[in-house]
Chain A
């Protein structure tokens, strides 16, 4: 079983819809959770970072962490064609032995159609 599970998609939505992405994980020690956006043939760029449980909002993006269920989500409101990309979740427990070693999901491909 992978430590981080993420549906690869593709997830196709019409412009203006809400995009809902999620990852599940098995390591209860994970405390730091990130979402990256990766356009085709580009390096991933950091979108959202969350520590422990709760919600975080940044413009059209909302990240949620539910540690009790080992489940994280990313919501994109008012989706635009420019949001078409692969979204990767990442997480870390930041213990002494693992500082900076993140576990990544496989990524979900999102297609927003005009």
Chain B
């Protein structure tokens, strides 16, 4: 069966510090991968998605970036965090082709102070 991992689970970082969040998927190959941010009381905002190694599409302009160095690894980064980057970050995967559903990881709660 497929599983998706995210770490760390919780992170408190000062403004201006760098960020690296990691997501890995097991039990599948060539998945589509997604990064979402969920602000308190708000819906899911798609940040990045990837259909393959090194292929990243950005949905919103911001100081975040994403990379996919391996087939089942997706990394969210920032060089300098802003207060507004606080939120709940969720990684999701979808099987390739016309698979219709996405499955989410446990999330990383980020607080920027």
Contacts and interface: CB of A to CB of B under 8 A. Distances in A.
Interface string B83-113: 0000010100010001111111111010000
Given A43-B90, A43-B107, A106 B43 contact: yes
Contacts of B42: 106
Q: Is the interface of B mostly helix, strand, loop or mixed?
A: strand
B15 interface: no
A101 interface: yes
- Chain B interface extent, by class: 20 to 34
A60 interface: no
Contacts of B104: 36, 43-45
Interface string B32-55: 101000000111101001010000
B100 A51 contact: yes
B87 to A, nearest CB: 12
B109 A100 contact: no
Contacts of B98: 94, 99
Interface string B51-67: 10000000000000000
Chain A interface: which size bin? 20 to 34
Contacts of A32: 100-101
A44 B92 CA distance: 10
Contacts of B51: 100
21 contacts: A32-B100, A32-B101, A34-B100, A34-B101, A43-B6, A43-B90, A44-B104, A49-B101, A51-B100, A92-B100, A99-B32, A100-B32, A100-B34, A100-B49, A100-B102, A101-B46, A102-B46, A102-B102, A104-B43, A106-B41, A107-B43
Interface of B: 6, 32, 34, 41-44, 46, 49, 51, 88, 90, 94, 98-107, 109
